[in-house]
Amino acid sequence: MTNAAGRGELIRTLVIEDNELDAGLALRALTRAGMAIESVVVEDEAGLRAALITFVPDIVLCDFSFPGFDGFAALRIVHETYPDVPLIFVSGAISEERAALALQSGAVDYVMKSSLIRLPIAVERAVGAARLAARRADRARWQVKRLERLWRVATDPLLRGDDIVPAILQQAAVDVGGDDAFRAFLVRSAGTGTTVVACASGAGSLPVGRTEAAALQALVDTSRDGTNRTRSWGDTTASAGAPGALAVAGWRAVITSQFAAGGDNYELAFASNEPVELFSDHDLDYMNVLVSSLAHQIQVNALEISLRDEEERARVHAQRLEASWQIVNDARIKDVDKWLRLLNQAADSISPEQGYRGTFWRLEGENMICEAVGESAKHGLRSDVIKIGAVLPIASSPVAVIIASAIATRSWDDIRASDPEITLAQASGTRACILTVFKAGGASWVLSLASGQPATKAIGPLDRSFVEVLASFFSSHVQQRWQFARIQYQQSHDALTGLLNRSHFRSQTRSLAAKGRTYAIALVDINAFHEINDSFGHVVGDTVIVEVSSALAGQAQPGEVVGRIGSDVFAIYIPDPPSADDVMERVRGFAGVFRRMFATGARNKEVISCTASIGAAVAQGDGSTFETIFSRADAALAIAKERGISEIVAYEPGMEREAQRRALLRSDLAAAIAGNQFELYFQPHVELGTGRVTGCEALIRWHHPQRGLIFPDQFIPFAEQTGMITEIDTWVLNEAIATATTLSAKRPDFRLYFNLSGRQAGDSAIVRAFIKAARAGVPLRNIGVEITETDAMRSVRATGRVCRALRKLGVHVAIDDFGVGYSSLSSLKSLPFDVLKIDRSFVSGLMTDGHDAAIARTIISIADHFGFASVGEGAETPGEIEWLWKNGCRYVQGYGIARPMPIDAFTLWLANYKAKTPELRRARARRRIPVLRHELPI
Ligand code: C2E
Ligand code: MG
Ligand code: MG
């Protein structure tokens, strides 16, 4: 028969029976049923108490009634000592009520003495049940104990956060199976990878074998259903559901739980090489407690780490800011060095474990230009790509993305080639970077910190703010430099053309000259620029200056410097010319600029031409100072201007004196204009046929305070070149008109001629001036103007226009110095004149040079032919006067009649003048009658 209490297992039986026979019968019933019995029999209370001290029964068989003692009392006494030992009443006679009472009081069964046959079964059941209960109680106590141990480890104040998880595992490895047979593993899976976080046996941590790693991976792979779940196999070889890898690793018994903590998934697994009976509910509970305890611990650890991290980051951030400020405020570090130091420092401190490279870029159009680079070791980026001055297309950099998103600062922990946001060739191999874009000094800039490795630690807001702080330094530095450069630029450059201004051209080229052996200075002066200003206005004048300056600058070769040193004067510095010929070659190159037309900026796209005079001087290394070379070029320029249109003059010794003279003349002339130092002298015109004075020519004189009387030849050409003539012209016009008005009051036929300057000849301003005079009552028929043949021929059409207008007004026009200006007869035909004045050079040669006489005769006949009156100019002797008369010249002007005189003397001369014909003069001369002083005041 089966024995629930265990076959052959000794059953210690305490029999409480006062009847020895009955006791024997009961025991025999048990042994007869094949049970192994060790028994003690007591017959009263005292015996019972004594027996319980030495004997621990598995079962108590108790009679119900004794003298002075009963079954209930016995039950009480037994349970006082052994509450879990089952007691069966074995009674001769028992009422039903007492039987029920007996069972209620704690007895497990009752058997009648009359049917002892039932006793073995009752005993067997009672002992079995008691032993099972005892085992259960043991298990529960064990569960409590192992949970208590777990709790102790988890809350051990001596363990640091990182050590708690391995310690829990180590304890659990022992407790899960109740011996050292189990090994414990904790595996974390993040993304696609798994890591064994800890593994332990009861003896401590242990290495994970290859097959074990595969077994763990199999567990992770098969438990990915997202919910916390515990699975177990008592014998992996016998269980169909166990992954094969478990048995391969030699694992027979496995219990595993999957849980999530701190954002990752974990697999907790225990494995033993021995199979076990099925894991109990206690084990499952234990696993649950373990899992929640580990999850809690992992979370606490993660929190701790992140707090610790945050503190650490804040500390590191403060340190790196401090380091940056020290560099910024270090007055010993200059400019770009400061940039490099800052970038180096930033590259080191963004992530000390990982190498970075700091670069500072200026954005220009489609490109970015590297202004500074600083790097830490191990940045892992391609080094050949980025150096100072490197140019990259913006589109090939993450900068393009940040600009497009219009966010100042961005960071990428891991840029991949497949990143949809950044579809670009990673020229430098950037994987992690922080970028900030800002504007300063009129440009856009980028500060970039980049690494060739993905960020080992996520780039956080503190990192970005560090880069922004750095950028703010760069920004203010760039702004300062820019403002400084702008001020310097404004001080050194001409605002209109952007070329160096006078003082900076001089200082810059002076220091260049100090370094070089030879050099040349060329000065370029636009001819008659004031005329462009006068006739087109200053806006056009400015446009032309800008055009010319950019043309000259465009002509300059590397090393040559172009500056604007006066309103229409440019200077060019030519370094190291191999020879003086090379200098002239270069200068001709610059002069070539004036062959083109220049835009006026006018809406009708009008263009004008202009010419320039150029003076050049070469420093030959003869010790001449820079100032000397400069003033030599200036002197050569003055000569070039004097020589006329488009001259290039190379300096020759002596030119400075001439230039000085001109400079002095310029200032004296300015003083003369301002101080009214001019006077008109008058020289009469006499009609040869009648001897009558018909008019006069007004000739200007300058009373120089030191040099005395100065004749027009000495200052009129200069005034014309310098533009100072305009004021002189106005003065002459007014003075001549006033005198003509006075003189004509008494002599209605008298005509006063005055000389027009070259620029007046073709300018209708003179016409307007006469119209104005006419309106003021000036008798214009008493006025004539003289235009030299050379001036008239310069622009026949313009002169013709002015002359026609003047003649309409009644003003006579004389063509002066005729015969030297090479006019063609056809142009004479188209010019409407009244008078033709034979140049003095022919008249003075009349008596001695047959050619002069022939020319004079021709001129007279031309005048007759065209209907002009002829005037012989500069006739000094009676012979010359007579020749003119005889050859049909109508008028004469010359010392032979009278020298030019101031107005008072002239008025007196007129009053005393008696008309004499040439014949009369000749007769007098023959009779040696002295000529009256007032008649011929030579
Ligand atoms: P021009 O218009 O041909 O004037 C005649 C010049 O011949 C005058 O010289 C006059 O003094 C000089 N002359 C007259 N008769 C004789 C003579 O018998 N012998 C010699 N040797 N010379 C004689 P001046 O006054 O020195 O003027 C020189 C030139 O200066 C003028 O030549 C004229 O072209 C210019 N000029 C004079 N006054 C003015 C003026 O008010 N305005 C302008 N724009 N030019 C003037
Ligand atoms: Mg004249
Ligand atoms: Mg003349």
Taking the CA of residue 839 as reference, the ligand 1 atom at the shortest distance is 3
| DSSP-based three-state secondary structure for 506 | helix
Please give the helix or strand (H or E) that residue 505 lies within, else none. Answer: helix 502-515
pLDDT tens by residue, 3-17 = 344 456 899 999 999
Inter-residue contact 162 to 301 (CB < 8 Å): yes
pLDDT at 929: 39
Inform me whether the pLDDT recorded for 432 exceeds 70: yes
Length of the chain: 938
CA distances from 107 to 70, 331, 446 (A): 13, 101, 93
Atom from ligand 1 closest to the CA of residue 875 = 18
Model confidence pLDDT, tens digit, residues 841-852: 999 999 999 999
Question: Which atom of ligand 1 is nearest the CA belonging to 711?
Answer: 26
Question: What pLDDT does residue 362 have?
Answer: 92
The Å distance, Cα 872 to ligand 3 centre, comes to 9
Q: Has residue 393 got a pLDDT over 60?
A: yes
Q: Residue 310 — pLDDT band, cuts 50, 70, 90?
A: confident
Is the confidence at residue 427, as pLDDT, over 70? no
Q: What tokens does 565 get?
A: 């040193």
Per-residue pLDDT, 421: 62
- Measured by CA distance, the residue closest to atom 20 of ligand 1 is 874
* Ligand 2 center from residue 824 Cα (angstroms): 21
User: Do 409 and 467 touch, CB atoms closer than 8 A?
Assistant: yes
Closest-CA residue, ligand 1 atom 30, reads 712
Distance of CA 724 from the midpoint of ligand 2 (Å): 19
pLDDT digits 0-9 by tens, 680-698: 999 999 999 999 999 999 9
- Closest ligand to C-alpha of residue 839 is 3
Residues with C-beta less than 6 Å from any ligand 1 atom: 683, 699-700, 711-713, 716, 732, 754-755, 757, 786, 816-817, 840, 873-876, 893-895, 900
In the structure, what pLDDT confidence band is assigned to residue 387 with cuts at 50, 70 and 90? confident
- Give pLDDT tens digits for 273-291: 888 887 888 888 888 888 8
Helical H segments across 753-891, by residue range = 758-761, 765-775, 789-794, 796-809, 825-830, 840-843, 850-866, 878-886
Distance, in Å, from the CA atom of 420 to the CA atom of 425, rounded to the nearest integer, reads 13
When mean pLDDT is compared across 48-62, 104-118, 724-738, the lowest value belongs to: 104-118
Band (926; pLDDT cuts 50, 70, 90): low
**Helix, strand or coil for residue 139?**
helix
837 CA distance to ligand 2 middle (Å): 8
What ligand has the least distance to the C-alpha of 724?
1
588: exposed, middle or buried (Cβ count in 10 Å: 0-12, 13-18, 19+): exposed
Ligand 2 midpoint to CA 740 (Å): 16
What is the pLDDT confidence band of residue 484, given thresholds at 50, 70 and 90?
confident
Burial bucket for residue 851 (CB in 10 Å: 0-12, 13-18, 19+): exposed
Cα four-point dihedral sign 424, 427, 431, 433: negative
| Mean local confidence (pLDDT), 130-146 | 87
Closest CA to 791 of 765, 770, 814, 808: 814
Most confident of 152-156, 356-360, 480-484: 356-360
pLDDT greater than 50 at residue 1 = no
Instruction: Give the C-alpha separation, 62 to 53, whole Å.
Output: 18
Work out the average pLDDT over 861-890: 94
Which residue's C-alpha comes closest to atom 11 of ligand 1?
900
Distance 841 CA to ligand 3 centre (A): 9
SS (H, E, C) 332-373: CCCHHHHHHHHHHHHHHHCCCCCCCEEEEEEEECCEEEEEEE
Structure token digits, residue 293: 């305890």
- Residue 716's H or E segment, with its range, is helix 716-722
Q: Give 644's pLDDT tier (boundaries 50, 70, 90).
A: low
The tokens of 128 are what? 């079995």
Q: Whose CA is nearest to atom 7 of ligand 1?
A: 874
Q: Which two tokens stand for residue 701?
A: 């004189």
Q: Whose CA is nearest to atom 23 of ligand 1?
A: 874
Q: Do the Cβ atoms of 743 and 782 come closer than 8 Å?
A: yes
pLDDT at residue 6, rounded to an integer: 45
Give the pLDDT score at 478. 84
Helix (H) or strand (E) holding 925: helix 918-926
Pairing between strand 561-564 and 569-575? antiparallel
Residue 78's closest CA among 66, 60, 103? 60
Task: DSSP for 625-662, please give it.
Answer: -HHHHHHHHHHHHHHHHHH-TT-EEE--TTHHHHHHHH
Instruction: Yes or no: say if 816 and 853 are a contact pair by the CB < 8 Å rule.
Output: no
Ligand of minimum distance to the alpha carbon of 900: 1
Q: Which atom of ligand 1 is nearest to the CA of 893?
A: 15
Is pLDDT at 633 greater than 90 in this prediction? yes
Residue 335 CB: number of other CB atoms within 10 A? 9
**Residue to substitute in 669, 686, 699 for testing ligand 1 pocket (most ligand atoms within 8 angstroms of CB):** 699
Which atom of ligand 1 approaches the CA of 900 most closely?
A: 11
pLDDT recorded at residue 422: 61
Mean pLDDT of 311-332: 86
Q: Atom 33 (ligand 1): residue with closest C-alpha?
A: 755
Q: How many CB atoms lie within 10 A of CB 864?
A: 15
Kindly state the average pLDDT of the residues 421-437: 71
DSSP strands (E only) in 559-647: 561-564, 569-575, 598-599, 607-608, 612-619
pLDDT, average across residues 585-611? 86
Structure tokens at 99: 């039987």
Q: How confident is the model at residue 824 (pLDDT cuts 50, 70, 90)?
A: confident
Residue 191 has pLDDT above 90, yes or no: no
934: pLDDT strictly greater than 50: no
Output the CA–CA distances (angstroms, integers) from residue 810 to 91, 621, 779, in the order listed. Answer: 178, 64, 9
Task: Write out the two tokens for 768.
Answer: 């307007």
- With 0-12 CB in 10 A as exposed, 13-18 as middle and 19+ as buried, what is 460? middle
Determine the straight-line distance between the first and last CA of the chain, rounded to whole angstroms: 184
Spatial distance between the Cα atoms of 300 and 531, rounded to a whole number of angstroms: 91
| pLDDT reading at 607 higher than 80 | yes
Task: Report the half-sphere exposure of 258 (CA within 13 A, side-chain side).
Answer: 18
Write the residue with the smallest CA distance to atom 16 of ligand 1.
874
Closest ligand 1 atom to residue 725 Cα is 44
Cα 576 to chain centroid, rounded = 37
**Of the bound ligands, which one is closest to the alpha carbon of residue 713?**
1
Q: Which tokens in the block code for residue 885?
A: 């008369």
Please tell me the distance between residue 607's alpha carbon and the centre of ligand 3 in angstroms: 37
Q: Which atom of ligand 1 is nearest to the CA of 699?
A: 38
Sign of CA dihedral 465, 468, 469, 470: positive
**What are the Cα distances from residue 785, in Å, to 481, 636, 804, 811?**
64, 36, 12, 7
- Ligand 2 centroid to Cα of residue 819, in Å, is 14
Distance 699 CA to ligand 1 centre (A): 6
Centroid of ligand 1 to alpha carbon of 60 (angstroms): 170
Contact 279, 233 (CB under 8 A): no
Region of poorest pLDDT, from 126-140, 186-200, 470-484, 855-869: 186-200
Averaged pLDDT, 60-76: 86
Query: Which atom belonging to ligand 1 lies closest to the Cα atom of 681?
Result: 25
Q: What is the mean pLDDT of residues 85-94?
A: 87
**Residue 936 CA to ligand 1 centre (angstroms):** 18
- Distance from Cα 817 to the centre of ligand 2, integer Å: 7
| Confidence at residue 938, expressed as pLDDT on a 0 to 100 scale | 27
- Please give the pLDDT value at position 419: 64
Q: What number is the average pLDDT over the span 891-916?
A: 94
Q: Specify the ligand 1 atom closest to the Cα of 720.
A: 44
Q: 333 C-alpha to center of ligand 3: Å?
A: 76
Question: How many C-beta atoms surround the C-beta of residue 773 within 10 A?
Answer: 21
pTM strictly above 0.75 = no
Which atom of ligand 1 sits closest to the CA of residue 876? 18
User: What is the pLDDT of the chain when averaged over all its residues?
Assistant: 86
316: pLDDT strictly greater than 80: yes
Which residue CA neighbors atom 21 of ligand 1 most closely? 874
Q: Check: CB of residue 739 under 8 Å from CB of residue 680.
A: yes
Token digits of residue 37: 């019995």
Residue type at 748 in one-letter notation: P
Per-residue pLDDT band for 224 (boundaries 50, 70, 90) equals low
| Residue 377 neighbours by CB under 8 Å, 6+ apart | 355
Give the position of tokens 């000794």: 10
| Higher pLDDT among residues 126 and 457, named by residue | 126
Asked which of 299-308, 367-376, 606-615, 881-890 is least confident by mean pLDDT, the reply is: 299-308
Sign of CA dihedral 116, 117, 122, 127: positive
Residue 316: its H or E element: helix 281-328
Instruction: Give the whole-angstrom CA distance, residue 343 versus residue 376.
Output: 9
Question: What is d(CA 309, CA 314) in angstroms, rounded to the nearest whole number?
Answer: 8
How much is the CA Rg of the chain, to the nearest whole Å?
A: 65
Reference 380, options 399, 362, 401, 353; nearest CA is 353
| For residues 562-584, average pLDDT | 93
- The pLDDT of residue 204 is 67
- 781 C-alpha to center of ligand 2: Å? 18
CA of residue 748 to ligand 3 center, whole Å: 25
**The pLDDT of residue 179:** 67
As given in the structure block, the two tokens for residue 639 are 């000569």
246: tokens are: 């478990």
Tell me which amino acid residue 576 is.
D
Residue 190 C-alpha to ligand 2 middle, in angstroms? 110
Top pLDDT among 182 and 906 is at 906
Give yes or no for residue 937 having a pLDDT over 80: no
Atom of ligand 1 nearest to the CA of 837: 3
pLDDT digits (tens, 9 = 90+) for 645-684: 668 999 999 888 887 888 899 899 999 999 999 999 999 9
Minimum CA distance residue for ligand 1 atom 12: 874
Ligand nearest to the CA of 700: 1
Atom of ligand 1 at shortest range from CA of 758: 44
Nearest CA residue ID for atom 22, ligand 1: 874
Q: Tell me how far the alpha carbon of residue 755 lies from the centroid of ligand 3, in angstroms.
A: 9
Question: Tokens 């004045």 — which residue?
Answer: 837
pLDDT of residue 835: 95
State yes or no: pLDDT of 923 exceeds 70: no
Residue of 669, 754, 755 with the most ligand 1 atoms within 8 Å of its CB, for mutation? 755
Report how far Cα 378 is from the mean position of its chain's Cα atoms: 27
What proportion of the chain, given as a percentage, has pLDDT over 90? 41
Which residue puts its alpha carbon closest to atom 41 of ligand 1?
A: 700
> What is the per-residue pLDDT for 500?
92
Average pLDDT over every residue of 43-55: 92
Q: Which atom of ligand 1 is the closest one to the Cα of 736?
A: 41
Phi, psi of 556 (to 5 degrees): -70, 140
Question: From atom 25 of ligand 1, which residue's Cα is the shortest distance away?
Answer: 699
Query: What is the per-residue pLDDT across 250-269, written as a single tens digit (0 to 9) for each?
Result: 999 999 998 888 778 888 99
CA 586/CA 575 separation, integer angstroms: 11
